[in-house]
Amino acid sequence: MEPETLRVAAVQLQSQDDVAQNLEECARLVALARRDGAKLVVLPENFAYFGADDTKRSVAERLADPKGKIQSALAEMARSAELYLVAGGFPEASADAARPFNTALVYGPDGQQVASYRKIHLFDVALQEGTTLSESSGTSAGDSLVTFDIGHFRVGLSICYDLRFPELYRALVSRGANVLLVPAAFTLHTGKDHWHPLLQARAIESQAYVIAAGQWGKHPRGRTTYGHSMVVDPWGTIVAEASDRVGVVSATLDLTYLEQVRAAVPCLSNRKL
């Protein structure tokens, strides 16, 4: 019989531009999450490298070559901890050498890659306080929805800026997703006002668990991220949230509770459009 509960963890990092150092920190925190019983661990966006685009291109790896430094390290983390590991966004080499994909990788407890998702929505904004960011200038966009299964839990993948596009999550739920992942590197400026309400809205409207793993603190090129990694339940309640530091937050997902929420307020079955 498939389990109806799932222990999960969101890892909060302060990644820099040193790949080896970042991967070492990831391994430490994945092991810590495992000691707390986690069977699914989510790493944030830019977990392996958070720096300039020209260097990002040099660390990009092809999925066809799983022996790359980053992919090898992830496979070993998942295998040694015997858990599902979602690595929230790393540079995957594309046909355009100057614009790798921003790709989330999923590894199973045997260390084998089971899924990959290329970020669809790219962060091209000019903020009122003067910050201009153009992710598309150095990143290629994906175009496919991705889910994978852990027992009775179907997990839908997204990355950071995707969070602002509810139609993506509606489509994932239509494919059976009851857990939604949001690895991110939300800026401090937008995160302090939008991170909590957006995550809670996605949980409420999807009647799904949301696991959001974020970057926190200061990074190269003057970037500052908001953090507050969290797990939100299908009612919209935040059941675990990180403070302003590197670390891990954990929670237990309960399929019975999720089904109770969906039965009590049957908005998914009441949809008209």
CATH number of the domain residue 24 falls in: 3.60.110.10
The range of the structural domain enclosing residue 64 comes to: 5-264
pLDDT tens by residue, 185-244: 999 999 999 999 999 999 999 999 999 999 999 999 889 999 999 999 999 999 999 999
Residue 90, SS3 per DSSP: strand
CA–CA distance, 121 with 78 (Å, rounded to integer): 27
Scan for tokens 């490298």, then name that residue. Answer: 49
Model pLDDT, residue 166: 98
Known catalytic residue at 267: no
Is residue 194 included in any domain, yes or no? yes
Residue 122's Cα: distance from chain center in Å? 15
Is residue 270 included in any domain, yes or no? no
Identified catalytic residue from 25, 26, 39, 160: 160
Is residue 269 included in any domain, yes or no? no
* b/e map 114-146, b = 16+ CB within 10 Å: bbbbbbbbbbeeeeeeeeeeebeebbbebeebb
pLDDT confidence tier of residue 2, bands split at 50, 70 and 90: low
Is residue 249 included in any domain, yes or no? yes
Is residue 221 included in any domain, yes or no? yes
Scan for tokens 């090898």, then name that residue. Answer: 72
Closest among 155, 264, 121 to 204, alpha carbons compared: 264
Identified catalytic residue from 25, 45, 92, 135: 45
Name the pTM for this structure. Answer: 0.96
Is residue 90 included in any domain, yes or no? yes
- Supply φ then ψ for residue 198, to 5 degrees: -65, -45
Is residue 66 included in any domain, yes or no? yes
Does position 129 have pLDDT exceeding 90, yes or no? no
Known catalytic residue at 45: yes
Is residue 21 included in any domain, yes or no? yes
For the chain, what is the domain count? 1
Identified catalytic residue from 26, 39, 119, 135: 119
